[in-house]
Structure 1
Amino acid sequence: MNSLLLCIPFAGLLLCIAVMPLVKPEWWEKHQALAVIVWSLLFIIPSIVLNGAGETTETVLECIVNDYLTFIVLLFGLFCVSGNITLEGNLAGSPAVNALFLAFGTLLSSCIGTTGASMLLVRPMIKMNSWRKNKAQIMIFFIFMISNMGGCLTPIGDPPLLMGFMRGVPFFWSLHLFPILIFNMILLLIIFYLIDKKQYRKDIANGLRPDISKPGVDIKVEGLHNIVFLVAIVVAVILSGTLPSLPMFQDAAGNVLGITIYKSVKLTFPAMIEIAIILLAALLSFKTTNEKIRTQNHFTWGAIQEVAILFIGIFITMQPALALLKTMGPNLGITEPYQMFWATGFLSSFLDNTPTYLVFLTTAGTLGFTSGIVTTVGTISVKILTAISCGAVFMGANTYIGNAPNFMVKSISDENGIRMPSFFGYMGWSLCILVPVFFIDMLVFFL
């Protein structure tokens, strides 16, 4: 009961994120930090009463040091570097061009991560469609595909798969998900093309026309040297997943070495290396790039600031929900692939998909499979592992908070004058489009 009561601040903060921009937009824009502080305290103070100051401090510091810090530094680094790359040209956003761009970005996500691909491509996508009025659907499908589904093919693509790799899942195993990704890409691109074509015709009927005065396709990319810094950030993420397993980063008991912050809370040396590389890449990106490029990109700090404020509250207040999930996970009676797919996916829509993935991966490891993928948590059947991986990666697209880049893409779109749907409005899109696709996935791949 106590654990359920401590989940109320998390639900309250989510409700604020969903409702306040609709009922009090100006107040919300100015006082987001206040709301985060209030809801965080509404978790921290009762937790101190119920669990003691020491345990509560340890819980809060653990999530800030080991989860939030690396999360926001990665997002900050990618935001900075991608903001220093601009695409100029006469490529106009038509339904066909947009669909091709979404397909390219979806496949790129597995190479540089969903966050990296999202930050790199969000501004070019917005620029291509700057002449259009009806374009929110473009960015919604951008979140569906580039910010989420595209990350399923490698551990680089999405953090849950990186955690699986750290626990013995082979690096290239995720390529088994390629047929499922292509299947979903085809379905979503067809749906997108039909919706975007309808909105495109409305824009044309209203007299809007792209600037196609120059013949042929003329595309110019500036700040291309920043790809080096983008690669450095990807390398930093890979190192964060591989260095902890090396003997030089472990003590005699096999624990990862680092600086102790409080009790068992430790900032590990691999995490420090990751943070240092990312921040250095961001600094060098700014030092070596002409400010004119950021001006062309309409670069501001608003989007990263909003994400930093809201997500520290989300990370803190979600801890009771995650603890409850870890306790109940093995006792939920979830043993079939389709059950793993929906359970992992549903919870990944609202909680951090990485710990959700780990809970069900660990649960699957206790089911007693004698053949399949051998991991440090046990042998897991290929079909079960496929279901858990797809649920965690794909269904992060169901809400704005399901995956880190979702909210960032929304914020950048809002900044650039695109009227994105509200929290519940976006969920309406995912319920009408993604959930039927996931139901088809279940019938085809997980029964």
Structure 2
Amino acid sequence: MHPRRFVVRWAGALVALIVALSPLHAWAAAELDGASMGWPYALPFAGLLLSIALGPLSFHKFWHHHYGKIAAAWALLALGALVWRAGGMAALAALVHAMLAEYLGFIVLLFSLYVVAGGILISGDIKGTPAANTGILALGTLMASLVGTTGAAMILIRPLIRANRPRRHNVHVVIFFIILVANVGGALSPLGDPPLFVGFLHGVDFFWTTRNLWLQTAIVAGVLLVIFAAVDVWRFRSEPSFSDAGSAKPVRIRGLINLLLIAAIVASLLVSAMWKPGIAFGILGTKLELEDVVRNIVLLAIAALSVWLTPDEHRQANGFTWEPIREVAKLFAAIFVAIIPVIAMLDAGHHGAFAWLLSAVTAPDGTPREVAYFWFTGLMSAFLDNAPTYLLFFELAGGDPLVLMNELSGTLASISMGAVYMGALTYIGNAPNFMVSSIAKESGIEMPSFFGYLLRAGAVLMPLFLLLTILPIAPILHWH
């Protein structure tokens, strides 16, 4: 039997078993009791994330061909444990909620941004001088909150690689690109970075991060651009073979229809945030709001329009393939399933297995420690992926968007900054990081290994984050 059919068949069998074991009259009452679960229920989630971190490094070829099956196995193990502990009814209700209320909107937005951005082609000759490189990174940082870190990275990484191909020292350019364009620049809107979109799906106002994080993001991005410019000037001086001589083709942007489609994506998100018809559909205890359903349909239609209206040669010139988004879709589907028991245990608060984590980020008088939220969210984002980590700490802080946007705004700012900024510390910290690294490797750039990248990114970022923590600019950063 083909391995894929084997996984699908067993997944179908598990769902059928859950249905068979579940009384139909009790769907709406299905809830997971996180207080009754111990830390072993988090092992499938930890195993999945460890596989994502070490698989491409330790067994690259096997991982490349079987990552979907490996991720599915961890997700099925988590579901099986829930069936054994809580019963089939509760497990299936939790699965439906994770897929429809959490995962669907998340992956639909990523998919639409990936498809539309892939139709924008920047052609022409750009010389990889320090001024040009700094300009491209600054432009990408500004674009990231408008078209998403995925969109900005996919639009600019290939022109940047072409511009720096003649240089002997170009790895640092891609590393700073990952830090700035694929992470820090996405901190100002739900479009920018997956964790912020997760927050938007949970009720955070669309413009909350814009209003509350613009100054912090400007400080971090500005310092990083200055550091990059200094490093690039130093490396550029040792490039004797690099020359500006020769005729250059003018820079052109093609596929401009996709810029309109990106505007349509932004408009669809804004409309869905403001339009509240009060109509919802219930599926096994999960409530789907009409505005969310319509938004997802519109986003998929926009992606289809991009494929239809963009000439195939534009995507071919961009090296566009479906594999990166396919990999993200499979891995994140498994992550959102495997994280179900972890979220349940976090919801149990001091009665759950993660009571120690709640104590670490909460003062004795019950007030949140905002610096602790920043560092715990950030460091876990680097190794556990920033979207599920954001969700973990969002729930740990109470999960009420109105409270977090007002009385606990500093806590929400700390969670948001930690997830977005420190997602740049590893290849798996944010979805586009690995995509950019793969494209760079395919283009002949010798990117560092997982731990090699960690050391380089950490050497740049950790001192900056420490300075943000200890310097007397805490009021600027909303830390009290």
User: Shorter-normalised TM-score: what interval?
Assistant: 0.7 to 0.9
After TM superposition, give the deviation of residue 355 of structure 1 in Å. 1.7
Cα drift, residue 201 of structure 1: 5.0
1:95-174 superposed matches below 5 A: 95-132=130-167, 134-158=169-193, 160-161=195-196, 163=199, 167=203, 171=207, 174=210
* Residue correspondence of structure 1 range 346-365 to structure 2 within 5 A: 346-349=379-382, 350-351=384-385, 352-356=388-392, 358-359=394-395, 361-362=397-398
Give the ranges of 4+ consecutive aligned residues of structure 1 lying more than 6 Å apart after TM superposition: none
Q: Structure 2 stretches of 5 or more lacking a match?
A: 1-35, 350-356
2:308 paired residue number: 287
Which letter does structure 1 place at the counterpart of 2:322?
A: W
What CA distance in whole angstroms lies between the structure 2 residues aligned with 1:78 and 1:285? 10
Distance change in 2, residues 1:388/1:415 (3 Å)? same
Seen in structure 2, the aligned counterparts of structure 1 residues 383 and 75 have a Cα distance that, compared at 3 Å, is: closer
Shift of 1:169: 5.5
* Cα distance in structure 1, aligned partners of 2:410 and 2:394: 16
Q: 2:262 aligns with which of 185, 207, 230?
A: 230
Give me the whole-angstrom Cα distance separating, in 1, the residues matched to 2:55 and 2:447.
Answer: 15
SS in 1 for 2:256: coil
Shift of 1:160: 4.9
- The Cα shift of 1:227 comes to 0.4
Gap runs ≥5 in structure 1: 251-256, 366-373
Q: Does 1:191 align with 2:227?
A: yes
Quick one: distance in 2 between partners of 1:224 and 1:149? 26
Q: Percent identity at matched positions?
A: 35
Report the alpha carbon displacement of residue 312 of structure 1 after superposing the two structures with TM: 1.8
**Residue matched to 1:368:** none
Contact 1:90 1:219 in 2 (8 A): yes
TM-score (norm 2): 0.78
User: For 1:55 and 1:210, how far apart are their aligned partners in 2?
Assistant: 65
Cα shift readout 1:286-345 (whole Å, capped 9, x = no counterpart) = 211211111211122221222222222222222223333333375542523322322332
2:456 counterpart (429, 432, 435): 429
Q: Distance in 2 between matches of 1:357 and 1:151?
A: 19
Note the alpha carbon deviations across 1:100-124, whole angstroms, 9 max, x for none. 2111211222233333323332333
Aligned partner (choices 76, 79, 83) of residue 114 of structure 2: 79
From 368, 372, 378, give the equivalent of 1:345.
Answer: 378
Task: Report the counterpart of residue 277 of structure 1 in structure 2.
Answer: 298
Aligned residue in 1 for 2:30? none
Q: Which residue of 2 aligns with 1:393?
A: 420
- Work out the CA distance in 1 between the residues paired with 2:390 and 2:134: 29
1:420 and 2:452 equivalent?
A: no
SS in 2 for 1:295: helix
Determine helix, strand or coil for the equivalent of 1:87: strand
Assess if the C-alpha contact under 8 Å between 2:373 and 2:414 holds in 1.
yes
Name the CA shift for 1:383/1:268 in 2 (closer, same or farther; >3 Å).
closer
**Conservation of the 8 A alpha-carbon contact between 1:18 and 1:424:** no
Deviations 1:126-159 (A, max 9, x none): 3333334543332222221122211223454345
Moved more, 63-72 or 192-201: 192-201
1:404 aligned to 419, 425, 431, which one? 431
Equivalents in 2 of 1:229, 1:281: separation in Å?
6
User: Root-mean-square deviation (CA), in Å?
Assistant: 3.0
C-alpha separation in 2, matches of 1:300 and 1:288: 17
Aligned pairs (5 A) from 1:63-78: 63-78=98-113
Q: Is the 8 A contact 2:190 2:206 kept in 1?
A: no
Task: State whether structure 2 residue 274 is matched by structure 1 residue 242.
Answer: yes
8 A Cα contact 2:55 2:63, kept in partner: yes
User: Contact 2:75 / 2:337 at 8 angstroms: preserved in 1?
Assistant: yes
Q: Is the 8 A contact 2:42 2:342 kept in 1?
A: yes
**Aligned residue in 1 for 2:335:** 314
Q: Given the superposition, is the C-alpha separation of residues 236 and 412 from structure 1 closer, same or farther in structure 2, using an over 3 Å criterion?
A: farther
Comparing 130-139 and 313-322, the one that deviates more: 130-139
Distance 1:61 1:406, change over 3 A: farther
How far residue 223 of structure 1 moved from its aligned partner, in angstroms, is: 0.8
Q: Closer, same or farther in 2 for the Cα pair 1:379/1:426, shift >3 Å?
A: same
Shift in alpha-carbon separation, 1:177–1:23, aligned structure 2, 3 A: closer
Per-residue deviation, residues 207-238 of structure 1 (Å, max 9, x unmatched): 4x4675226x8211111121011111222333
- Distance in structure 2 (CA, Å) of the matches to 1:438 and 1:4: 30
Q: Normalising by the residue count of structure 1, what TM-score does the alignment of the two structures yield?
A: 0.83
One-letter code of the match for 1:341?
F
Name the CA distance, whole Å, in 2 between partners of 1:23 and 1:443: 38
Offset at residue 240 of structure 1 (A): 3.9
Q: Deviations over 1:42-64 (max 9, x none)?
A: 22222211121222222222222
| 2:3 aligned residue | none
